[in-house]
Structure 1
Amino acid sequence: MRRLFVNGENRPRAGWRLLFQFLLNNAGGLLLGSLVLVAFGGLSAGGTGPLSSLYLNVLLYAATALAAVASVWIAGRFLDRRPFSGFGLRLNRAWWSDLGFGLILGASLMAAIFAVEFAAGWVTVTGSFEPVDGGTFFPAILAPVALFVCVGFYEELVSRGYQLTNLAEGLDTPGIGPRGAILLAWVLSSSFFGILHAFNPNTTPLSTINIALAGLMLGLGFVLTGELAIPIGLHITWNFFQGNVFGFPVSGLDPVGATFLTTDQTGPDLLTGGPFGPEGGLLAPAAMLAGCLLIALRVRRRSGNLTPHTPIAENPTRDRQTNR
């Protein structure tokens, strides 16, 4: 019975580690979110205008990010026996350079989608520098910046940093090997990423498939480098430019805060994504494919190869056991 729960290194097996982190993350998010609601309710004491609601939204996302960090640190420290930096956060000069590349890439890919729709007459610009719910453009635009920084960081830390790493380690068996395990974990974690977004507003089967494909694009940088720099940067600007620069819905959710451009989509939903946003249409997979190619070129130029970063699948206690 013990073998069902514990592996040869006297650690919980990968499946149990993943389940524990998932439950801890969600429980922590609910607890911190509830505390934010209680505290914010006491501070606002009377009414909540548009800006107050917006700031509340940012605080809730920050609480979610804090819960994600705590759950990954606790699971990594006590179950994985892996340092927090081992989840793709070795913050050296190369890491920050890749983060910058990811930020530019996300902005460029979403700008390309907008350019295609604009050239085809599928989107019309109806305004600029407008707050979504009244007030002034600045500081309303700062809220979605903070919001999407939180989302880009915690979703990548959990989905790629923790889940993909543990899946790869658990799947690394003699019949699969580390490279096969990483590729399989990449697909499985991306599929789960798509399923989690299937509960968003205005979802369709195509949008769920596309979000899973987005998980593959976001995970590629991690699979090839073992670092979360490219995925985090790409995730942040993909979302921010989608919602708050070009005024599109983001995964079914309307933009918040303010938008640089206010737009009206009139093109075919099959291509533009309609009320779900570009991630629900057929233009998105084309942009994602281009993103994968550009990530591969970046990594090939930096490292000279395009093979999975096999330490992702390694047992973090192996070196310590060998050195005893």
Structure 2
Amino acid sequence: MTIMIKIVLACLAIFAGIFAVKFLLFPAVYFIFNMQSGQLKVVEQFTTLMFIGLGYYLYVKYYEKRRPDELTFRASHLFYGAVSGAALISVTSLLLFYLGYYEVVSFQGLEGIPIVGSTILVAAMLEEFLFRGVLFRVIEAHVGTLFSLSFVATLFGLLHLFNENTTVVTAFSVTLLGVFWGGIYVLTRNIWVVGLNHAAWNFSIFSTGIPLSGNEDWRAVAPFESIYNGPLLLTGGEFGPEDSIINIIVLLISVVVIFYFAQKIRLLSALAKIPRRLSWKRRFR
């Protein structure tokens, strides 16, 4: 019951921030200025992100009564988080472009980047606040790291099956992504780092003009117009490169590396809280 109360209150705090921006603050702004420009939409997205962080901060400070260290800004860590996210998915995408399974048709311009880019950033950060900042962290505190990681990653994968153009591969590939981002949070204990990794990953896919997690809508405003052809297991098909077997292999290697370092620096001490029948702690001594 304590777990559920914490999760519900944390989610309410986060969504209260979103509600305040989307239904109170910016409707008033649009009414006063009698306009809905692209620039204002971008400002709205960044304001939404600020209020998401504020809601989480207030929950941690006044309900959990502790300092929210997971919200600490470290410029170098944020930079590495974003660059590594973009670089990792680019291994798959660039290889598929090189092999001819993805092909650039034309350059469409940069006009769509501000609105779509800010939307991608807010969506990725919101998912990380909810899945890693709330669900993973709260469950981990009660039952341990590996159980929490497995449960939240599985839930993350299952919920993405509601996206368009999913296949039998999607549940596994997105669950593996959940393990990957959960692992980054375990290593860094910083929501901004894992959120920027997630956002940079998604933005890299969008910018190439290839479907992003089954979403075809943004391809029309992507900087590049691209097409894909070839075996579904190789290209990822209409879901995008996340379903590619190349990406799955890259993620598996990355997860192994992450948990190797997690073991080395003893960040899995919370395993001691797992019931004996679930515990793997001897493997990490």
Task: Give the TM-score, by structure 1 length.
Answer: 0.70
User: Paired residue for 2:98?
Assistant: 119
Please give the root-mean-square deviation of Cα atoms over the aligned residues, in Å: 3.2
1:73/1:296 CA distance change after superposition, 3 Å: same
Among the aligned pairs, what percent are the same residue? 23
- Whether the 8 Å contact between 1:113 and 1:284 is mirrored in structure 2 is yes
Establish whether residue 143 from structure 1 lines up as the match of residue 115 from structure 2: yes
Q: Which consecutive unaligned segments of at least 5 residues does structure 2 have?
A: 274-285
In structure 1, C-alpha distance between the alignment counterparts of 2:33 and 2:235, rounded to whole Å: 39
Task: Give the TM-score, by structure 2 length.
Answer: 0.79
1:233/1:24 CA distance change after superposition, 3 Å: closer
Deviation at 1:127, TM superposition (A): 1.0
Deviation at 1:243, TM superposition (A): 0.7
The structure where helix makes up a greater share of residues is 2
User: Paired residue for 2:18?
Assistant: 29
1:19-75, Cα deviation, whole Å (9 max, x unpaired): 2222443454345323477457647868x7xxx5x6676466446534532432232
User: Paired residue for 2:59?
Assistant: 75
User: Paired residue for 2:71?
Assistant: 89
1:7-86 to structure 2, matched below 5 A, reads 13-26=2-15, 28-30=17-19, 32-35=21-24, 38-39=27-28, 42=31, 52=37, 58=42, 61-62=45-46, 64-85=48-69
1:160-171 to structure 2, matched below 5 A, reads 160-171=132-143
- Whether the 8 Å contact between 2:125 and 2:192 is mirrored in structure 1 is no
In structure 2, C-alpha distance between the alignment counterparts of 1:36 and 1:242, rounded to whole Å: 32
1:238-282, Cα deviation, whole Å (9 max, x unpaired): 1111111x1112112233684343210112223322222112333
Question: Of 195, 198, 207, which residue of structure 2 is paired with 1:235?
Answer: 198
User: Paired residue for 1:210?
Assistant: 173
SS of the aligned residue for 2:264 comes to coil
Establish whether residue 273 from structure 1 lines up as the match of residue 232 from structure 2: no
- Whether the 8 Å contact between 1:99 and 1:232 is mirrored in structure 2 is no
1:149/1:184 CA distance change after superposition, 3 Å: same
How many residues were matched structurally? 272
SS of the aligned residue for 1:263 comes to strand
In structure 2, C-alpha distance between the alignment counterparts of 1:144 and 1:69, rounded to whole Å: 20
1:82/1:256 CA distance change after superposition, 3 Å: farther
SS of the aligned residue for 2:52 comes to helix
Q: Which consecutive unaligned segments of at least 5 residues does structure 1 have?
A: 6-12, 132-136, 172-180, 315-324
